Copies of this chain bind each other. A is one copy, B any other.
C-alpha cells in the first residue's frame, strides 16, 4: 500500500503539522517511525518519516526527494463558465484528476450564475486540494475567481468547445506551449463571444454533433488531452 501523502507548506528538514492533521494520522493508525510522503502543492514531493506523533502535533523528517511525474509537459488551464449548484465542484474534481494546473472561472453572457460566493470559491479550492491528493499529484490546481470572458488572456493555444465547429482538438494540439481549454455555460457561449475569442487566436473545436451538458464538456476536452499520454 502506498504511503499516506501529506500536504505541507514547504519541504524542510523537519516539518510540523497541527492538531487536525495529527488526529488524521491517529485515525490512519500511523505510528512514529512510519513512512509518509510529503508534497507542497507546487510540484515538489519527497519521502518522509513520522518522527513524533501526539494529540497536538506531528513532526515529519524529510527523506529523499521524488521527481514529480504526474504533471503535463506544459501547464493546462481549464477556463470554465460559472455553473449552478454543485456542478463546478464536479468539474474541478475531474479537472484535477485530468491534470489541469489552473481553473479559471468565467462570467459569460448566457450565465447560469453571475457570481460566486467566497465560501463556494474556498470550497472549490478544497475540492482541488483533496482531488490532487487522491490522484497522486504534487500540484494542486489554482482555482481563480471569475473574470469576465472578454478579460481572459492566455499563453500558447486556447481551444474553445463549440457545437458545429469543424476543427479537431487532436489536429491542433502540440505540447510545445501551454494549453487552455474553454467551455461555456448551459446556454452555450454567444456567437459574438466565440468570434471574439477566435479573433484573438483561439481555435474553436468540435466535441461531436450532440448537445453536451456544461459539466460534461470540460471533462471530455481534458480527456482528449490526456488520451495523448500526458
Where the two chains meet, the residues of A that have a C-beta atom closer than 8 Å to any C-beta of B are 69-70, 72, 93-94, 97-99, 134-137, 166, 168-170, 205-213, 216, 219-224, 226-230
Which one, B209, B213, B227, B229, contacts A70 given CB within 8 A? B209
Q: How many copies, total?
A: 2
Main secondary structure of the interface of A (DSSP, over half): loop
User: What are 13 residue pairs bridging A and B, where the CB atoms are less than 8 Å apart in the complex?
Assistant: A69-B209, A94-B219, A97-B213, A98-B216, A170-B227, A207-B226, A208-B230, A209-B230, A219-B219, A220-B227, A221-B227, A223-B224, A224-B227
Measured between C-beta atoms, what is the minimum distance from A162 to chain B in Å? 12
Interface pair A134/B209, CB less than 8 Å apart:
no
Kindly list 7 other residue pairs between chains A and B, CB separation below 8 angstroms, not including A135-B210, A209-B230, A219-B223.
A99-B210, A168-B227, A206-B227, A220-B220, A220-B223, A220-B226, A224-B227
